[in-house]
Amino acid sequence: MTQRLRNGSIDVESPRVSMRSSAIGEDSELSFAGQYLSLLNVPENQLLQSYKFIVASVYTPRAISYPSTRGFVTKTSP
């Protein structure tokens, strides 16, 4: 995976990326705006760790409670 990320990375000396969630259900009935983690200025050696943090952000108390406090029940994780 690291290799694939490298292949897609931009050709500069020290590429930095912005990593943002894109989840199923985002912008459907509920916006989910700001519910999941975004990480800015991620260097190459922190890509995988940052990816894990963002995927794990689906399970923060805030993100889990978001649909239910708005009258929705979700059984599937985004």
Token digits of residue 59: 């399970």
Q: Which residue has the tokens 């943090």?
A: 53
* Total binding residues toward other proteins, as defined by CB under 8 A: 36
Q: How far is the CB of 46 from other proteins (least distance, A)?
A: 5
What character string, x for contact with other proteins (CB under 8 A) and - otherwise, covers 13-32?
--xxxxxxxxxx-xx--xx-
φ/ψ of residue 50, rounded to 5: -65, -40
Task: Identify the bridge partners of residue 39 per DSSP, sorted by sequence position.
Answer: 19
Judged by CB under 8 A, does residue 5 bind other proteins?
Answer: yes
Query: Minimal CA–CA distance to 53: which of 31, 35, 36?
Result: 36
The contact set with other proteins (CB under 8 A) reads 5, 8, 10, 15-24, 26-27, 30-31, 33-34, 36, 39-43, 46-47, 51, 54-55, 58, 69-71, 77-78
